[in-house]
Structure 1
């Protein structure tokens, strides 16, 4: 059996113009020569990384290569500042992975300034307790009492939504910003959407305090949640 399995180009979200590729991968079957087999560049900075990091990088960049093929972009995703993926213009994209699944999404749609995708396994109680102060701020705690979600599921969802927003905005901000800069305004289980708002202006002038966004979410497999944020010319209202 190969390192990659269960590949799919089926979209998880009905977003016009969005191209997606996902694949499962088996860490136990990872070998360095798979970079050459799948025609993915093995960057020098990754040579000293542990096999887990090399495996997840390969799986993510493989998915990214497939979406670039479908968008007829012949240049690979590079490594930018802070090791963030550098997509070839005018393509806008994002990559994420869990311990055994990777996903890449991308688009050429005009007006899209950033895409953020994140996939997470539901946090266990111990990890949830450790991450809670880092993820939640302001009034975010109230969403842990959601009638349809356990506290761990709600926290995982908010963590993933904020991570997706960070990925979507980072290319236009160029600097790190913490989860405390983002508040949760809604957690709509019926529409599978998380409302987000900036609690503070981000570097530059494009994203002011009060800018609103939405993260659509889905459950691609049992125990997994995935979120998507599309940042456009105007912030979405929720």
Structure 2
């Protein structure tokens, strides 16, 4: 299939941003500008735009297009096939059989990660613009458990904002990694960030039962880093 790269998206970046490798995984990112989105960019790029995307504003269209283009570029490396994930009824990406993946976008940057599901059966990736101190503190109780709020004590306002941003992001990554495995929605207060360090590691714990395998008390490792001025977090569930 012949397609062209739209002017609203930059060429793909192949940089792996985390200090640890994820064997077998392929990541692609690009920047996008909604102001440069053309009316025919979806068909020219050979990306199907679902009805709800067609009706949406330019920003939503551009971020969807950029995310799917990153996903397709990563899938081509992984599988050798020219395909992009479709959109499920639950609005989550539907990946090709045998593939796990995740897409995220934030303020003009899109990123996608894919892997063979026989190696990584759950992947969750999330990009976030750092929260300003006042906004972070306003949102804290919506995002953090009481124990997480208590751990903010002793941190400077800037450190508190960083911790709240990280907690938000890595819980989003946790949801993306586990939702395809459990088929059940869960929310910010259903998991807890136990620990994180400057090297980029994080430890998470579930606070509710999601399935026979994923019960309250289950712990998972996560990673985080700075990537092009944003916080990037990752949760990967090994097969």
Task: Tell me how far apart the structure 1 counterparts of residues 156 and 51 of structure 2 sit (CA, whole Å).
Answer: 48
Question: Quick check: 1:112 aligned with 2:120?
Answer: yes
- 1:186 aligns with 195
Aligned alpha-carbon RMSD (Å): 1.9
CA deviation after TM superposition for structure 1 residue 149, in Å: 6.1
Which of 94, 97, 102 is the matching residue for 2:105? 97
- Give the aligned partner of residue 197 of structure 1: 205
Superposition deviation, residue 147 in structure 1 = 7.4
Q: How many residues align?
A: 230
Separation (CA, whole Å) in 2 of partners of 1:100 and 1:206: 37
Aligned counterpart in structure 1 of residue 15 of structure 2, from 10, 17, 20: 10
Compare 21-30 and 135-144 and name the one that shifted more. 135-144
Cα drift, residue 111 of structure 1: 4.2
CA distance in 2, matches of 1:55, 1:210: 39
Q: 1:102-160: CA deviations, max 9, x gaps?
A: 00000015242210000001012343133211110031124434579621111111111
Quote the residue 2:29 is aligned against: 22
Residue 220 of structure 1 aligns with which residue? 227
Task: Provide the rounded CA distance (Å) in 1 between the counterparts of 2:175 and 2:38.
Answer: 31
Aligned equivalents of 1:91 and 1:197: distance in 2? Answer: 25
Measured after TM superposition, the shift of residue 37 of structure 1 is 2.3
User: Which among 213, 229, 236 is matched to residue 230 of structure 1?
Assistant: 236
On the 8 A contact 2:76/2:83 being kept in 1, the answer is no
Tell whether the 8 Å contact from 2:24 to 2:119 is kept in structure 1 after alignment: no
Asked if the contact 1:143–1:187 (Cα under 8 Å) also holds between the matched residues in 2, the reply is no
Counterpart pick for 1:41 among 45, 48, 64: 48
In structure 2, stretches of 5+ residues that fail to align are 1-5
1-side partners of 2:10 and 2:82: how far apart? 24
Offset of residue 31 of structure 1: 2.1
- Greater shift, 162-171 or 22-31, is seen at 22-31
**Which segments of 5 or more consecutive residues in structure 1 lack a partner in the other structure?**
234-238
Offset of 1:69 from its aligned partner? Answer: 0.6
Equivalent of residue 172 in structure 2, options 140, 163, 171: 163
Tell me, in whole angstroms, the C-alpha distance in 1 between the residues paired with 2:91 and 2:16: 26
State how far apart, in whole Å, the 2-side matches of 1:111 and 1:146 are.
38
